Every structure is written in structure tokens, then in C-alpha cells.
């Protein structure tokens, strides 16, 4: 059987394979196994059954999403910069109009993601735009079979024009956050889980090792989050799933400080 890209129907994780035996994201303790067994969707089937949309979130920021939802249903962010655009996280599937819109906005110079739950169809962005920098933290390289990493890194990686990747670990060993100093934003991966109401207003925020199973982070992991983000200025956080202009640095630090003040337990903070 020839190599193909397959998406896990349960979580949306992509693998380049001829017959995936399992999904490394679903077999991991942080995710649930599919109740009815494995179902891997070839790329052509996903493309034929999914569409997508894009919207401008701010002057220099666009969001790309896939419908109907595939897997975890993440968002691909595009930061538009004169020196070269930065794509962070990826939508689960990009239609041709979505890719054409990215091209019209100037393509992609740097491509990165926080951790495997945010990879989406990153391989489609690499195939279309072939950015010189594809950056994933060294501790998550085992999950990158669907695309080719050109820039593994240790603690930080400067992507240019005030955008810097910071390794934070915790939720995933190689989890990283992208700080956009000019936009005063923190693309925080799954450092924070944000519940939002039907109007997109953030109502609760929490920090976990595993959301589905309510496994908390250790104090050491929470402290590392705190040490990394405390020196960074930001007024908003963006996960692979939500844009939360209500959560700036003070709120984020308060959530971590509260969790550090007591034994490990998952607690959702009302905003």
C-alpha cells in the first residue's frame, strides 16, 4: 500500500503511513481511545468531506478553522508580518480557498505549533509554502511523522520581529508557547484550558496535565509555567482552540499561584 496521509477520526492527528496501527495521541494517557476502534481517514476522503473558514481576528492576526469539526477541532493562527508571516498551530484540514488566502496574505516564513494537539494539518502548510523554519521542541519530535521539522530547539527559539518560542513542558513534555511581543499575545498551547460561552466570552480558566481525565499538573510543572511567562508582557492568550482577550499576564499568574498554594487538584477559576 502506498504512503498516504491519514487523520485519526477520533482526535484528528495526522500520520504519514500506509496503514496506521494506532494513533499515538489517542493511546497517550491524555486522550480517550475511540470507543468503536480505530478509523483512519485518507487525506482525499477528509478533503472531500470537509470545508473551512477564515476570519481576521486583529490587524495582524487571522484564524483558520475546519468544518465539520475534525478530531479536537483546533484553530490555525497566522501572524502577518512584513518580514515574513508566522503560522502557529494548524487547522485540522485546509481547503484550497484557505491555502489561497494564506498565499494572498504573504505565505508562511515560520511554521510552529505548541504540542501535538495543535499540529492539525501542519503538513499541508509545509507542502504548499515550504517555509524555511518548521520549529517543534526536541521533546515532541516523536509526534512529527506527518511533516519535517527543520528547527528543533531547546529552551527558546527566536522567530523574528518579537516572536519567540518558549519551552514550557507540563501538559506535554515538549509543549511550547509563542510570545508575540508586538501584539502583546501569548499563544499558550494547552497551558491553560479556557471555557467560553456561546458568544465566545471566556468564563472559566484552568490548568491541567490532562483535560479529559482531570489529571492536575505537579507543583514543579506549574512553577515552570510561572517562571517562563512571568517576564513576558501579554494582554491575551490564544490556545489551539480559543482566543481569550480576557486573560492577560496577571490573570494567568493568579491561576498558577492559586494552584501552587495547595495540593495538586484540578480547579476551574471563574473569570
Q: Which residues lie near Zn ion (CB under 5 A)?
A: 8, 10-11, 13, 23, 25-26, 117, 190
C-beta closer to Zn ion: residue 16 or 161: 16
What is the C-alpha separation between 26 and 46, in angstroms, rounded? 19
By C-beta, is 182 or 212 nearer to Zn ion?
212
Write down how long the chain is.
271
Cβ 267 to Zn ion shortest distance, Å: 18
Contact assessment for residue 229 and residue 236, using Cβ atoms and an 8 Å cutoff: no
Least distance in angstroms from the C-beta of 71 to Zn ion:
7
Pairing of strands 236-238, 86-88: unpaired
Q: Given the C-alpha cell 486522550, which residue does it identify?
A: 31
Nearer to Zn ion, 95 or 175 (CB): 175
Can you tell me which residue has the cell 496577571?
250
Minimum distance of Zn ion from residue 149's CB (angstroms): 18
- How many angstroms separate the most distant Cα atoms in the chain? 54
Cα(6)–Cα(1) distance, integer angstroms = 13
By C-beta, is 27 or 156 nearer to Zn ion?
27
For strand 243-244 and strand 236-238, is the pairing parallel, antiparallel, or unpaired? antiparallel
Q: How near is the Cβ of 83 to Zn ion at its closest, in Å?
A: 29
Q: Which is nearer to Zn ion, 10 or 124 (CB)?
A: 10
CB of 195 to Zn ion, least distance (A): 15
Place of cell 495582524: 60
Amino acid at each position: 500500500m502506498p504512503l498516504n496521509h491519514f487523520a485519526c477520526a477520533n482526535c484528528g492527528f495526522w500520520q504519514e503511513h500506509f496503514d496506521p496501527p494506532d494513533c499515538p495521541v489517542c493511546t497517550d494517557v491524555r486522550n480517550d481511545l475511540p470507543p468503536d476502534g480505530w478509523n483512519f481517514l485518507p487525506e482525499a476522503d477528509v478533503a472531500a468531506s470537509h470545508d473551512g473558514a477564515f476570519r481576521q481576528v486583529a490587524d495582524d492576526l487571522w484564524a483558520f478553522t475546519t468544518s465539520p469539526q475534525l478530531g479536537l477541532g483546533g484553530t490555525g493562527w497566522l501572524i502577518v508580518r512584513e518580514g515574513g508571516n508566522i503560522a502557529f498551530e494548524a487547522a485540522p484540514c485546509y481547503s484550497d480557498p484557505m491555502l489561497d488566502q494564506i498565499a494572498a496574505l504573504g505565505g508562511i516564513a515560520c511554521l510552529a505549533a505548541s504540542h501535538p494537539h495543535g499540529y492539525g494539518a501542519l503538513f499541508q502548510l509545509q507542502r504548499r509554502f515550504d517555509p524555511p523554519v518548521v520549529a517543534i521542541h526536541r521533546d515532541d519530535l516523536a509526534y512529527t511523522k506527518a511533516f519535517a521539522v527543520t528547527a528543533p530547539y531547546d529552551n527558546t527559539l527566536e522567530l523574528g520581529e518579537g516572536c519567540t518560542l518558549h519551552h514550557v513542558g507540563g501538559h506535554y513534555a515538549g509543549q511550547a508557547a509563542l510570545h508575540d511581543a508586538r501584539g502583546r499575545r501569548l499563544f499558550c498551547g494547552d497551558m491553560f484550558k479556557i471555557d467560553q460561552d456561546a458568544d465566545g466570552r471566556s468564563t472559566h480558566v484552568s490548568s491541567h496535565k490532562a483535560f479529559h481525565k482531570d489529571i492536575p499538573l505537579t507543583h514543579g510543572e506549574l512553577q515552570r509555567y510561572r517562571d517562563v511567562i512571568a517576564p513576558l508582557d501579554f494582554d491575551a492568550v490564544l490556545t489551539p482552540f480559543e482566543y481569550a482577550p480576557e486573560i492577560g499576564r496577571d490573570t494567568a499568574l493568579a491561576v498558577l499561584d492559586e494552584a501552587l498554594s495547595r495540593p495538586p487538584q484540578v480547579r476551574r477559576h471563574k473569570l
